[in-house]
Structure 1
Amino acid sequence: MAVISLAMAASHAPGLTGWFDKAPEADRRIVRAAYDAIHDEIVASGTQLLIIVGNDHVANARVGDLPDFTFALSDRIQGPDEWFKPWLRVADYDLPGAPEAGTRLFEALRDSGLDLRGRTDGLRYDDNVSVPVTMSRIADTGVAVLPLLQNCTVPPLPDEKACYRFGEQLAEAIRTELPADLRVGLLGSGGLSHEPGGRRYLEIDEKFDRWWMDLLVEGDHERILAEATFDRMEQAGSGGTAELLSWSVVMGAVGPRPCTSLGYVAFDEWRCGVGAVRWQL
């Protein structure tokens, strides 16, 4: 059976690529080290397929018809989308996709109770995929990439418990539906606190971010699901902080266990709290 070879999560704030040099060197050092750790863990773990779970940002469907999760089933993962290039300021990338593995997972999970869709045409990738792919130098690792785009913003959407349960189902599908000995990595992409375009656009809720990171390090998933709810995320920054639901998917996939913090930065000009973690498998 296939195995989950790594489980990590990190912020994908566009400021990390578009305005990286605005931050103090100490903050930049923390972020570089975190994404270097992601790169190194992918290589060291022998990961062959990396599933990136991240907010769709309503870039690939209309607001009134936004699926809960969209599986990218194309042969190549190419980006960033033209519209996002001026503010992301990253080089173009062209990575191997995983259409066969993605289709197997999609078919196995269709009865999950969520609105799942598979797309073989070109999806538009913004910071959700472009930032982690660029910052962790995914192209250098040779792994295939399966983006799993998620509705984190438009109600009704799967809350923290539903995302955690979907992560459990995803892990089971990985183990039972994918080729034996395939090593599959999971990367939750998004967060931490931010409110894009809202009245708190330039504010970071550092207290919430550090509380969230501490909860993950402790590894008490029951407490996290009870206290770090979708509503609590919205209080920390509406329309943005709930990208942490992508982290919830990864949490569900690996089950209750502690993780290691790879660092946290609250730099207001990035307009987002930035952090990363690695679960201990």
Structure 2
Amino acid sequence: MAEISVAMAASHAPGLTGWFDKAPEADQRTVREAYAEIHDAIVESRTDVLVIVGNDHIANSKVGDYPNFTFGLAERHSGPDEWFKPWLRVPDYEIPGRPDVGDVLYRSVKDLTPGVRAVRENLRYDDNVSVPVTMADMVSTGVALVPLLQNCTVPPVPDERVCYALGRALGEAIRTRLPDGLRVGLFGSGGLSHEPGGPRYLEIDEKFDRWWMDLLVEGDHERVLAEATFEAMERAGSGGTAELLSWIVVMGAIGPRPCRNLGYAAVDQWRCGFGAVRWELP
């Protein structure tokens, strides 16, 4: 059977690349060190395939026909998409895909909830994939990607329990339906508190962010599902904070366990709280 080799999550705010130097040096160092550890974890865990779970910013589908989960099954993933280049300011990248792995995972979860799709063309990637790929220098690791983009914006949004259940099925599929010896990593991309384009665009809910990070460190997933609801995320920043649902997909795949806080920073100029964690796997 295949094995989940590593499980991590981190913020992907465009400010981390487009406006990185607007933050104090100490906060810049927090981000650099967190993403450096993510890079090292991919290498040291000998991960073959990394499933990146992140939200789609309404870039790949029309609002009137919007999927809840989209598996990217391209042979190679390249980005960032041309439209997003001026504000992301990251170099172009190309990284191999694993459509065979993605197809197995897609078929394993497609009937669990409405609106699960698979796309074999290269998707439009903005900060959801481009920031972690760049900040963690994933191209140099040799890892292949299976992007899983989810709906965190268009009602009705799959809530925390739907995401956790899908994650559980994803983890089961990795462990039982993929080739023996394959090492599959999981990465939740998104969050923390932010409200893009809303009245709190320049605000970060640091109290919520630190509460969320402490909750994950404790490892009580039932408490996370009971308290860190979609509604609670929306109160901390509408239209943005719910990107943390991608972290919940990863949590469902690995089951209840504590994690290690890799760092937190609240920088208004980045328009988003930054945080990163790594879960302790056997």
Are 2:83 and 1:114 equivalent residues in the alignment? no
Query: What is the letter of the counterpart of residue 88 of structure 2?
Result: L
CA drift at 1:93 = 0.3
Counterpart-to-counterpart distance in 2, 1:129 and 1:90: 11
Q: Secondary structure at the match of 1:180?
A: coil
Counterpart-to-counterpart distance in 2, 1:203 and 1:246: 22
Q: Which moved more, 1:181-190 or 1:61-70?
A: 61-70
Q: Which moved more, 1:108-117 or 1:187-196?
A: 108-117
Counterpart-to-counterpart distance in 2, 1:279 and 1:114: 29
Structure 2 matches for 1:79-98, cutoff 5 A?
Answer: 79-98=79-98
CA drift at 1:113 = 2.4
Q: Secondary structure at the match of 1:103?
A: helix
In the other structure, the counterpart of 2:15 is 15
Is contact 2:2–2:181 with CA below 8 Å preserved after alignment? yes
Counterpart-to-counterpart distance in 1, 2:179 and 2:66: 31
In the other structure, the counterpart of 1:268 is 268
Query: What is the letter of the counterpart of residue 161 of structure 1?
Result: R
For residues 112-132 of structure 1, give each alpha carbon's deviation from its aligned partner in whole angstroms, at most 9, with x where no partner exists: 123210001121000000000
In the other structure, the counterpart of 1:52 is 52
Structure 2 matches for 1:100-179, cutoff 5 A?
Answer: 100-179=100-179
Q: Secondary structure at the match of 2:266?
A: strand
Query: What is the letter of the counterpart of residue 164 of structure 1?
Result: Y
Counterpart-to-counterpart distance in 2, 1:83 and 1:130: 13
Aligned alpha-carbon RMSD (Å): 0.6
Counterpart-to-counterpart distance in 2, 1:38 and 1:76: 22
Q: Secondary structure at the match of 1:34?
A: helix
> Structure 2 length normalisation: TM-score?
0.99
Counterpart-to-counterpart distance in 2, 1:114 and 1:30: 39
CA drift at 1:251 = 0.6
> Structure 1 length normalisation: TM-score?
0.99
Counterpart-to-counterpart distance in 2, 1:120 and 1:21: 36
CA drift at 1:234 = 0.1
Counterpart-to-counterpart distance in 2, 1:109 and 1:223: 25
Q: Which moved more, 1:111-120 or 1:64-73?
A: 111-120
Counterpart-to-counterpart distance in 2, 1:24 and 1:158: 36
In the other structure, the counterpart of 2:223 is 223
For residues 188-213 of structure 1, give each alpha carbon's deviation from its aligned partner in whole angstroms, at most 9, with x where no partner exists: 00000000000000000000000000
Q: How many residues in Structure 1 have an aligned counterpart in Structure 2? A: 281
Q: Secondary structure at the match of 1:235?
A: helix
CA drift at 1:90 = 0.3
Alignment identity in percent? Answer: 72
For residues 12-46 of structure 1, give each alpha carbon's deviation from its aligned partner in whole angstroms, at most 9, with x where no partner exists: 00000000011010000000000000000000000
